[in-house]
Structure 1
Amino acid sequence: MRQPTLEPPYGTHALPPLGRAARRLAGMLPGHRLGRIGVSLLRRIVTGGKPGPFDVEVFPQIRARLYPAGNRCEKRAVAGPQLFDRAERDALREAFAASPSNPFVFLDLGANVGLYSLWMVSVARELSREVVVLAVEPDVGTRARLEANIAASTAGDSVMVAACAVGEHAGRGAMLAHEGNRGEHQVRAAGEGEADTFEILPIHEICARRGIVRIDAMKVDLEGHDEAALRGMFAAAPAGLWPRMIVVEAGKREELPAVVRLCLDNGYELASRTRLNALLRLRAGRSDGTS
């Protein structure tokens, strides 16, 4: 894997003293309701109402260049990153620590600017373990930010980037932009002869092109295409490729969404639910095709 470079160098867009102080304070606040309100108020001081970029450390040994205006995950990470999907990140860390796999293989489907991918690099460095991350992001602008964050964190030896979308079947796609939140950009089918398109590939094909034959954990955030992507995996991927752990959006409603029921029907069990996501684990024996 190549080690990308960041231009201008990391630190060029460092926070001013007041912003750094506010960010340190935000980083000490707990995750309850009042703590989140405090982080939100301090975030305004951190950014000074500016759109960015801001060069900050988001996780231990992980640095990023964030543009919080117009992308919710970057907004959350610019101040109080300890609150960003904390339960999901803790579960992934526990799975990594308990796994015998060397390296630990993580797929980040719908990687956005790479916060989940880089969290796994942070965990690998903490545990002195090897990790292979495949971050899949079709949007050109978002992928540029992802690659900048890989460069800022010198994580190019651990993170591969795939410039495609994920679907049930192979095809061509185009981006339907969301004006308020880059993380809600959606992939649509491309028209014949349309410009600025990209490949849509099923999970097993994306892995095959990069020599991945095992997935220890996978995060899926495909803005409406999660179920189709997983349906394609269950239908066509060898059972040995099925992830041992899946993090997928489940929404806030009490009933389980179709994507979670699909996983349950294919040998997974629901380990827990967070505010927005479901954490699923493959039942023993299913990874080799047995029941």
Structure 2
Amino acid sequence: MSVSDRVSVRSELSASSQIPIDDTSDFGSRKPSAVTAGLISLTQNLGLSWFGKRLTYLFRRIGLLMMGECADVTLFGARLRIYPHNNVSEKRVLFATQLFDPAEREALKALAAPGAVFLDIGANVGLYSISVGEAFVAHADTRILAVEPHPYIYRRLAFNAALNPTYNITAVEAGIADHEGTLSLTLHGDNLGETRMVQADITGSLDNPADAIAADKVVEVPVISLMQLVDAQGLKRIDGMKVDVEGFEEKVMLPFFDIAPDALLPRVIIIENNVRHWDVDIVAVAATRGYASHRISKNNLMLSRDPS
């Protein structure tokens, strides 16, 4: 698919899905109202107690009712344009930054050092990348690769990365799989972060009709393997990696563990805990490459490896 064809497809899908994307107006033109900004500040400072969380959710609900489709804000020391209405991750980070995967982000930020490299696989709009960038920016020659296949989310990601050039975030529009080519990506208007790669075709071409996906709910996206991404970007080291691919973890990680040299193995990998859905136990495979597994939060595992 040519660049012009891909742009045409995106325009048609965006129009039909009514998914808001403003990546042309200047930062600050979407500033929230004073009242909304006050609610955002309040919810971000209510703490981690049970009562604080309850108040956070209450005021968040009020804030969402009052605000427009997006807001220009400062988070993680960075400028961001956040769309909280159709992306749970953006809603969480805007109204409760302190609740947004704090242990996971701290483990990755602790890797900050000269020349450090972070790979954000399934980057969404770049929230992990920006958070890690807040720590990495203090060191020379750091790199962050934020990889996202969803055409709408990618545009939001690229816009946020461009707003913060000192964080040295490279946005890559692709999915990570076990081969180079294309795959179908499901589209979820209510929560764009729940989109996932599927190996089934659209309605009408499946052996099992129960697996059918409506034609207007998928888009074909380019995919490459993780090692192909590493080679294309000329990476010689990877310090940290986050993998959030909605159940597609085996296609991302198993080929990498199979052929990656020790020098490329990340010290820390944050991966969504989908053990019950995997055909192959990724944690067990990771252990053969020297990784220890830790339950870091309700939804995520941390794989850690001592390079020595």
State the partner residue of 2:95: 79
1:265 to 285, 288, 296: 288
Question: What letter matches 1:152 in structure 2?
Answer: L
* Alignment map for 1:88-103 (pairs within 5 Å): 88-96=104-112, 99=113, 102-103=114-115
Taking a change above 3 Å as real, the CA distance of residues 260 and 180 of structure 1, as seen in their structure-2 partners, is farther
State the partner residue of 2:164: 153
Question: What letter matches 2:253 in structure 1?
Answer: L
Q: Which moved more, 1:211-220 or 1:174-183?
A: 174-183
Higher helix share: 2
Q: 1:155-211 CA deviation, whole Å, 9 max, x = no partner? A: 4x601111111112223112111242111101123769x995332211110111111
2:306 to 268, 283, 289: 283
Q: Is the 8 A contact 2:294 2:302 kept in 1?
A: yes
State the partner residue of 1:211: 234
Q: Matched residues in 1 for 2:220 and 2:124: separation?
A: 18
Query: Deviation at 1:120?
Result: 1.3
* Alignment map for 1:167-206 (pairs within 5 Å): 167-189=177-199, 197-206=220-229
Q: Is the 8 A contact 1:248 1:278 kept in 2?
A: yes
Q: Matched residues in 1 for 2:298 and 2:91: separation?
A: 18
**Percentage identity across aligned positions?**
30
Q: Which moved more, 1:275-284 or 1:257-266?
A: 257-266
Q: Matched residues in 1 for 2:75 and 2:289: separation?
A: 35
**What is the root-mean-square deviation of aligned Cα atoms in Å?**
2.5
Q: TM-score, normalised by structure 1?
A: 0.85
Taking a change above 3 Å as real, the CA distance of residues 180 and 260 of structure 1, as seen in their structure-2 partners, is farther
Q: Is the 8 A contact 2:146 2:170 kept in 1?
A: yes
Q: Matched residues in 2 for 1:210 and 1:19: separation?
A: 41
Q: Is the 8 A contact 2:39 2:60 kept in 1?
A: yes
Q: Matched residues in 2 for 1:115 and 1:212: separation?
A: 22
Q: Matched residues in 2 for 1:14 and 1:153: separation?
A: 17
Query: Deviation at 1:129?
Result: 4.5
Query: Deviation at 1:47?
Result: 3.0
State the partner residue of 1:24: 41
Q: Is the 8 A contact 2:104 2:296 kept in 1?
A: no
Runs of 5+ unmatched residues, structure 1: 286-291
Q: TM-score, normalised by structure 2?
A: 0.80
Q: Matched residues in 2 for 1:143 and 1:12: separation?
A: 21
1:66 to 82, 107, 132: 82
Taking a change above 3 Å as real, the CA distance of residues 28 and 196 of structure 1, as seen in their structure-2 partners, is closer
State the partner residue of 2:131: 119
Q: 1:200-254 CA deviation, whole Å, 9 max, x = no partner? A: 211110111111121000000111111221101011222221111100011598x
* Alignment map for 1:50-65 (pairs within 5 Å): 50=67, 52-59=69-76, 61-65=77-81
Q: 1:65-95 CA deviation, whole Å, 9 max, x = no partner? A: 1111111100111212122101111111223
Q: 1:26-83 CA deviation, whole Å, 9 max, x = no partner? A: 1211123322221111223333344521111121x21211111111100111212122
Q: Is the 8 A contact 1:43 1:78 kept in 2?
A: no
Taking a change above 3 Å as real, the CA distance of residues 66 and 252 of structure 1, as seen in their structure-2 partners, is farther
Question: What letter matches 2:110 in structure 1?
Answer: E
* Alignment map for 1:247-262 (pairs within 5 Å): 247-250=270-273, 258-262=281-285
State the partner residue of 2:263: 240
Question: What letter matches 1:235 in structure 2?
Answer: D
Question: What letter matches 1:153 in structure 2?
Answer: N
Q: Is the 8 A contact 2:117 2:143 kept in 1?
A: yes
Asked if residue 105 in structure 1 is aligned to residue 117 in structure 2, the reply is yes
Q: Matched residues in 1 for 2:181 and 2:290: separation?
A: 28
Q: 1:119-148 CA deviation, whole Å, 9 max, x = no partner? A: 1111123x3454200111011100001011
Q: Matched residues in 1 for 2:29 and 2:189: separation?
A: 28
Q: Is the 8 A contact 1:250 1:260 kept in 2?
A: no
Question: What letter matches 1:32 in structure 2?
Answer: S
Question: What letter matches 2:126 in structure 1?
Answer: G
- How many aligned positions are there? 270
State the partner residue of 1:43: 60
Taking a change above 3 Å as real, the CA distance of residues 23 and 270 of structure 1, as seen in their structure-2 partners, is same
Asked if residue 162 in structure 1 is aligned to residue 172 in structure 2, the reply is yes
Q: Is the 8 A contact 2:122 2:146 kept in 1?
A: yes
Q: Matched residues in 1 for 2:239 and 2:39: separation?
A: 37
